[in-house]
A = this chain, B = another copy of it.
């Protein structure tokens, strides 16, 4: 495999550039850094048709990714998740062209696998040995898993009330796993001090510049899977916001090489009412968000009171003519059930938040009946086993199913 087309890292706030052959974190101005490529050479090196016969994971887009040599790719088969036409759910909501991209089919069960695959591959390439990070749970599970495959030592700190399965993922993969009696922001401070004290690489969201490149592949796939015609609306549940930023970045790069035109989907940032800093900033027409006090929602993935990349999320939303919407936990649980009954999809609460937001925006007239709408379900519901607790009938051995409304022998 040829060298990557990566040329430098760039600060989207102040324009300062950084050398990608060195370990980098954030700009001296505090902003996250974005990977920049020689898009001219990139565009000349690959065609849409070339993709057809390639591996069916996100590394099919290797020219768009920062890893220089195949041997540094740390992959568990992430990406190329299906985009499913959800006719039953569409009918329930009133929409004719509703789709869900199911990120639950990734390794570790969430879209975090994409970021971890890109980030850990680059850590391997750059010779990093120890990585530490705060997490709401799923990113920690992903980085622990990819870290194990790459032979890295990982140090993970997450809230004590993070999902049990994420804790077990980290533990099983051999990560040094700590809980904190607080929020992800408290975990972040602990990681920051440990990174300084022990010389760990701090892979906090957007302090590490490459996970966004992994998540960008969601945007590449949306374009390829729809035959290089982007949909009208994309709804993304927003915690750290890297997924939304990544999709936006992918579409900009695809336009730059001429694979798509200037049309963009209207990007919708979806949050929970109990933690909606982006929605608040959007409603006030602000470019950045303010730390959201008392964050509380069952959708742990969007319980991020202040995202480092908030200004990039808002930028994508504004530029695309999009919007930002908050939904209640009750709506989340309701829409999780509706999606399961109509589509057989056991989605995560964050994905269910995006379903609820779709319903709301259609009722408000912001989404039209015939528009092509894509909901990102960011993970599998299997990682949230406590959302429902059914009491099921228990039969004795030799017992029988009785269906009152059905006559026997029909």
Which residues 61-113 in A have Cβ within 8 Å of B in the complex?
A: 75-77, 80-82, 84, 88, 102, 104-109
With a cutoff of 8 Å between Cβ atoms, the chain B residues found around residue A147 in the complex are 344
Which residues 160-176 in A have Cβ within 8 Å of B in the complex?
A: 160, 164-165, 167-169, 171-174, 176
Q: Mark A151-187, 1 if CB is under 8 A from B, else 0.
A: 1000101001000110111011110111111100010
Could you say which of B75, B168, B193 contacts A390, with CB atoms under 8 Å apart? B168
Cα distance A277–B255 in the bound complex, in angstroms: 59
CB <8 Å contact, A109 and B382: yes
Which residues 95-143 in A have Cβ within 8 Å of B in the complex?
A: 102, 104-109, 132
Cα distance A77–B190 in the bound complex, in angstroms: 40
**Residue A285 at the chain B interface, CB threshold 8 Å:** no
Chain A residues close to B by CB (< 8 Å): 52-53, 56-57, 75-77, 80-82, 84, 88, 102, 104-109, 132, 144-149, 151, 155, 157, 160, 164-165, 167-169, 171-174, 176-182, 186, 189-191, 193-194, 197-199, 336-337, 340-346, 380-383, 385, 388, 390, 392-401, 403, 406, 408-410
With a cutoff of 8 Å between Cβ atoms, the chain B residues found around residue A167 in the complex are 390, 392
How far is the CB of A185 from the nearest CB of chain B, in Å? Answer: 10
A194-B401, A380-B109 are contacts. A390–B160 as well, Cβ < 8 Å? Answer: no
Provide a sorted-by-A list of 6 A–B residue pairs whose CB atoms are within 8 angstroms: A53-B53, A77-B81, A169-B346, A174-B341, A180-B399, A182-B397
Number of copies: 2
A52-B53, A393-B179 are contacts. A341–B172 as well, Cβ < 8 Å? Answer: yes
Cα distance A394–B173 in the bound complex, in angstroms: 19
- Smallest Cβ-Cβ distance to A401: which chain B residue: B194
A149-B88, A408-B198 are contacts. A160–B108 as well, Cβ < 8 Å? Answer: no
Cα distance A174–B339 in the bound complex, in angstroms: 11
With a cutoff of 8 Å between Cβ atoms, the chain B residues found around residue A174 in the complex are 340-341
- A77, A160, A174: residue with the most chain B Cβ atoms closer than 10 Å: A77
CB <8 Å contact, B177 and A392: yes
Could you say which of B151, B394, B409 contacts A199, with CB atoms under 8 Å apart? B409
CB <8 Å contact, A385 and B385: yes
How far is the CB of A156 from the nearest CB of chain B, in Å? Answer: 10
A107-B105, A382-B383, A395-B181 are contacts. A76–B193 as well, Cβ < 8 Å? Answer: no
CB <8 Å contact, A400 and B341: no
Cα distance A197–B82 in the bound complex, in angstroms: 39
- Smallest Cβ-Cβ distance to A57: which chain B residue: B82
A167-B392, A409-B199 are contacts. A145–B344 as well, Cβ < 8 Å? Answer: yes
A173-B346, A199-B410, A380-B109 are contacts. A395–B180 as well, Cβ < 8 Å? Answer: yes
- Smallest Cβ-Cβ distance to A195: which chain B residue: B401
Cα distance A102–B380 in the bound complex, in angstroms: 16
CB <8 Å contact, A344 and B149: yes
Cα distance A390–B174 in the bound complex, in angstroms: 11
CB <8 Å contact, A102 and B77: yes
- Smallest Cβ-Cβ distance to A147: which chain B residue: B344
Cα distance A390–B397 in the bound complex, in angstroms: 35
- Smallest Cβ-Cβ distance to A143: which chain B residue: B344
CB <8 Å contact, B88 and A82: no
How far is the CB of A16 from the nearest CB of chain B, in Å? Answer: 27
- Smallest Cβ-Cβ distance to A145: which chain B residue: B344
How far is the CB of A70 from the nearest CB of chain B, in Å? Answer: 12
A56-B56, A105-B105 are contacts. A173–B77 as well, Cβ < 8 Å? Answer: no
CB <8 Å contact, A190 and B400: yes
- Smallest Cβ-Cβ distance to A81: which chain B residue: B77
Known: A52-B53, A148-B343, A157-B401. 16 other contacts (CB 8 A): A77-B82, A77-B105, A88-B149, A88-B151, A107-B345, A149-B345, A155-B403, A160-B394, A164-B385, A167-B390, A168-B385, A172-B340, A174-B341, A179-B395, A181-B395, A194-B401
